[in-house]
């Protein structure tokens, strides 16, 4: 299994690099915001949201590529002749995607906490702590959900529908989060969505003829 994961990481190195760069960008933006280097924080907030949207779309695209890319398919045909199951192959992809998400998400999270605690006025009060956790958890689920929606739309053979899906599906999820806010309901919906999609994708993945 480890071999498969390592293989996926090697094949997805581009995604890791991009995630790291965007992560660094976010950290920089956060630093600028907290250290009040700029008179107005609005452009930085816009930047943060923009980066998040880019990441959402990229993750969705990554999910699609994992299912439908030419190189993925060829590799899949060959790998299925080796002693690995299709479920293991899919699991390796999902784990790699999670690692990409963590690569993107962890540094800004730590930066946020660091900056927060370094400002006495924003000290560790219960409300803020709770807010950060909610934010982290929701964003994490949102990012995973984006990747999963990519997996789902990757099975579609039409390029236009896939291109459509890359933008629309993550947007729908993001709007859901905006509408419902960081609440238990949001978590539930996202978790159920991810769970259902993974089960469905696993079933379909096992049934495609190579």
Tell me how many residues contact other proteins (CB under 8 A): 19
Q: Are the beta carbons of 68 and 163 closer than 8 angstroms?
A: no
Q: Determine whether 209 is exposed, middle or buried from the number of CB atoms within 10 Å of its CB (0-12, 13-18, 19+).
A: exposed
Q: Note whether 157 binds other proteins by CB under 8 A.
A: no
Min CB(174)–other proteins separation in Å: 34
> Rule CB under 8 A: which of 84-113 touch other proteins?
84-85, 88
Question: Token pair of 14, please?
Answer: 């581009």
With binding defined as CB under 8 A, does residue 78 bind other proteins?
A: yes
Nearer to other proteins, 3 or 121 (CB): 3
In sequence order, the 6+-apart residues with CB closer than 8 A to the CB of 115 are 30, 31, 34, 35
Q: Which two tokens stand for residue 146?
A: 């984006």
Site string for other proteins, 7-26 (x = CB under 8 A): x-------------------
Distance CA 182, CA 189 (A): 12
Q: Is 188 in the site for other proteins (CB under 8 A)?
A: no
Residue 77 CB, nearest approach to other proteins (Å): 7
Closest approach, Cβ 147 to other proteins, in A, equals: 23
**HSE toward the beta carbon, residue 187, CA cutoff 13 A:** 8
The footprint of other proteins (CB under 8 A) covers 3-4, 7, 71, 74-75, 77-85, 88, 207, 209-210
């Amino acid at each position: 299994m480890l071999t498969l994961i390592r293989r996926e990481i090697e094949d997805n190195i581009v995604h890791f690099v991009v995630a790291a760069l965007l992560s660094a960008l976010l950290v920089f933006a956060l630093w600028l915001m907290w250290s009040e280097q700029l008179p107005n924080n609005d452009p930085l907030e816009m930047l943060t949201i923009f980066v998040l949207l880019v990441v959402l779309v990229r993750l969705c695209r990554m999910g699609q590529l994992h299912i439908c890319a030419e190189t993925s398919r060829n590799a899949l045909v060959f790998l299925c002749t080796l002693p690995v199951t299709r479920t293991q192959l899919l699991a390796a992809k999902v784990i790699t995607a999670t690692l990409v998400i963590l690569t993107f998400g962890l540094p800004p999270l730590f930066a946020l906490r660091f900056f927060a605690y370094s400002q006495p006025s924003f000290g560790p009060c219960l409300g803020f702590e709770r807010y950060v956790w909610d934010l982290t958890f929701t964003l994490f689920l949102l990012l995973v959900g984006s990747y999963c929606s990519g997996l789902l739309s990757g099975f579609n053979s039409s390029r236009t529908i896939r291109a459509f899906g890359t933008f629309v599906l993550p947007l729908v999820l993001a709007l859901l989060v905006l509408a419902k806010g960081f609440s238990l309901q949001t978590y539930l919906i996202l978790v159920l969505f991810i769970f259902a999609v993974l089960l469905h994708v696993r079933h379909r993945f096992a049934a495609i003829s190579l």
